[in-house]
Amino acid sequence: MAGAGDAALALTQLSGVGPSVQEKLHRLGIPDLPALLFHLPLRYEDRTRLCPLGELRPGQRALIRGTVSRASVQFGRRRSLLVKVRDDAGEVGLRLFYFNKAQQAALQPGVAIQVFGEARRGATGLELYHPEYVVAAELNALPAPDGQLTPVYPTTDGLTQRTWRKLIDQALQWLARRGQLPDLVPEPLRQRWQLPDLGAALSFLHHPPVGTDPDALKSGEHPCVARLVVEELLAHHLGLRQIRARLRSEQAPDFHPQGTLVKDLLQRLPFPLTGAQRRVLQEIDRDLARPVPMLRLVQGDVGSGKTLVAMMAMARVMAQGWQTALLAPTELLAEQHGRTLAQWLEPLGVSVVVLLGKLTKKQRAPILAAIAEGTALCVVGTHALFQDDVDYARLGLVVVDEQHRFGVDQRLSLREKGRLAGRVPHQLIMTATPIPRTLAMSMYADLDVSVIDELPPGRTPVVTTVVSNAQRTDVVERVHAACAQARQVYWVCTLIEDSEELEAQAATELYEQLAAALQPYRVGLIHGRMKAQEKASVMADFQAGHVHVLVATTVIEVGVDVPNASVMIIENAERLGLSQLHQLRGRVGRGATASFCLLLYQPPLSQAGKARLNTLRATNDGFQIAEQDLLLRGPGEVLGTRQTGEASFRIADLQRDQRWLPMVKDVAETMEQQYPDAVTLLLARWHASDMNYGKV
Ligand code: ADP
Ligand code: MG
């Protein structure tokens, strides 16, 4: 925007905006008047119509009017003031748990009252708890119903709805005086989509007239909502394109086939690469050979062999004496990757180091030195990889595993660490959370995407069964039988509360029960509260087959690879997201033995819950599952962006507004060619150049 410094746009010219309100608005990302106009209502209330008391239904939010017939203080579990209101057709109660003498005095039988609130079934029939109300001597003296829907704004502590309405009304007056906000969606494009102009859309959305269908506003069908959705999506997409262009203008070291490392590795593998792995590697090779930084997302379902693809890409770079870094989301996974890579690379003379947060200063020192000198070619680790004291001699490629666990900022800081003489490292990003096409298009316009759409041969699909907790004893027997056949079992304990401590506790209890029930077989325990050292040693025991059943929390969700494990039991499966269940299930079915996944649920299971779990039973295809998950839970959950704060739109909702995405893509190109000035202004208006996702 023109910036908070532009006096003509300053918020402080509004009455009611002093330093404290201004500060609150700033924190909500509202630096000036135009931004205030873009602060749109979350929903609307209909106070345009009086609802006769006889028509009021539970759950309805309504404006009602009548005469107080009775008012009395009730002494139930909590003291409250109950006020009965009557009209010709019926009676309702108002219940106030907090009230003062003045209120009590005003609410006397005989006074006229107008009330807005939500009707619920209460102790005395329909009741409205703590409604808004006004009283008057007689009905005729009450205010007339509103002439428009009442907006309800998203807000923060200390800013009431009344404040918002007052501020925004002033901003609308300012807009009317000023004539117009520049409409940055070019006229011909607006016409093609039949979208209203910006000023009209904003005025309408802040004050929808009587008769406007609130559902059309909510569903995004209304042209005024669509107008703003399109503008925001457009800004977002243009922002991504700009970033991509910026990245393309950076330089990177180019790596052409050289040396024998790649060939030697391929020869030593006990299996051939799958067709999909080979294809994706070719795509990566082409990128690496160009002096422009690669930014490629590799999507591959759980178990499709992404680690191997990463290693081969790294080998290409290391063959020329450049370093590579593999970033993993958990220490468990980093250690596993470290072992896998060392197993293949060290016999060929490539040194692999693993850098973890848990290391002591003394353990860190030699690793840091090897990284700084460049003798450690292959660096594996967690967040520790981009801490301040880590210096890379020459970093040519950064691989990020399970990228949805990392924010873009973290990815960026590793890239910046690798900046050397004006060149930045290539980036490869791997994810097993398949991103549905429409979403990928809008979220990752900045990335090239490769898909590993084939599993290594000889895998038998995991057979999934949905089992009630009531049948636990049978499940334990099945596990016993599986152990007798030298199979290994994961038993995953999950809780709904987001508490590592409670989860650890539940896992420990389960561990004790199973250890007793499954004798003579060995049961192991792993959870987030254990020391890294303990975790690593339990994992090593499980990997080596010394532990038959591993009781775990969701710490094992991503990446863990123990091919001999063939049974997965997941507790409270009804509470987890589909993609998460799919990830967990992906820990088995990695070897040739037939694998099973039992989803335990606590009855009664709702219809929807049943349908969800059946999706998993019906398919092993991560893409289909992600599409379902998207429908059920929305993009934030599927992409894991909840944690990282990416993908936050102010008005658009990627799922609701998907239908606009293809058009937005087209128009973005047209705008870049024909309306470059509008592009610049649009990016500024929506801060699309400096949003989180903007930094890649
Ligand atoms: P993910 O894509 O889930 O990260 P991994 O990289 O952990 O999958 O690989 C899963 C398993 O498949 C590993 O045990 C790995 O050794 C094995 N694997 C990878 N590629 C092949 C292949 N081409 N043929 C046979 N097995 C493979
Ligand atoms: Mg993996």
* Residues of the chain above pLDDT 90, percent: 51
Mean pLDDT of 222-227: 93
Which residue minimizes the CA distance to atom 4 of ligand 1?
306
Given a cut of 60, is residue 246 above it in pLDDT? yes
Q: Is beta strand 79-86 parallel, antiparallel or unpaired with respect to 91-96?
A: antiparallel
Mean pLDDT of 81-107: 93
271 lines ligand 1 (CB under 6 A): yes
Closest ligand 1 atom to 591 CA: 14
Cα 523 to Cα 476, 518, 594: the distances in Å are 12, 8, 21
Cis ω before 366 (30° cut-off from 0): no
For the chain, which domains are there?
Answer: 7-44+152-209 (no CATH), 49-145 (2.40.50.140), 261-452 (3.40.50.300), 462-619 (3.40.50.300)
Cα 670 to Cα 44, 235, 482, 658: the distances in Å are 36, 13, 61, 20
> Cα separation of 498 and 575, whole Å?
12
Q: What is the pLDDT of residue 437?
A: 60
635 lines ligand 1 (CB under 6 A): no
Beta bridge partners of 526: 552
- State the pLDDT confidence band at 350, using cuts at 50, 70 and 90: very high
Q: How far is the CA of 404 from the centre of ligand 1 (A)?
A: 20
Q: How far is the CA of 624 from the centre of ligand 2 (A)?
A: 19
3-state secondary structure of 88: coil
- State the pLDDT confidence band at 348, using cuts at 50, 70 and 90: very high
- State the pLDDT confidence band at 380, using cuts at 50, 70 and 90: very high
432 lines ligand 1 (CB under 6 A): yes
Spatial contact of 401 and 347, defined as CB atoms under 8 Å apart = no
> Cα separation of 643 and 637, whole Å?
9
Of all ligands present, the nearest one to the C-alpha of 329 is 2
Q: What is the pLDDT of residue 417?
A: 86
97 lines ligand 1 (CB under 6 A): no
What is the CB neighbour count within 10 angstroms for residue 326? Answer: 28
Q: What is the pLDDT of residue 4?
A: 43
Given a cut of 60, is residue 578 above it in pLDDT? yes
694 lines ligand 1 (CB under 6 A): no
Q: How far is the CA of 658 from the centre of ligand 2 (A)?
A: 30
> Cα separation of 635 and 438, whole Å?
11
> Cα separation of 508 and 299, whole Å?
35
- Span 456-469, pLDDT tens digits: 988 888 999 999 99
- Span 35-91, pLDDT tens digits: 899 999 988 888 999 999 999 999 889 999 999 999 999 987 889 999 999 999 899
Q: How far is the CA of 556 from the centre of ligand 2 (A)?
A: 12
273 lines ligand 1 (CB under 6 A): yes
The residue whose CB lies within 8 Å of the most ligand 1 atoms, and thus the one to mutate among 279, 590, 593, is 590
Q: How far is the CA of 290 from the centre of ligand 2 (A)?
A: 27
The residue whose CB lies within 8 Å of the most ligand 1 atoms, and thus the one to mutate among 299, 307, 343, is 307
Which residue minimizes the CA distance to atom 10 of ligand 1?
303
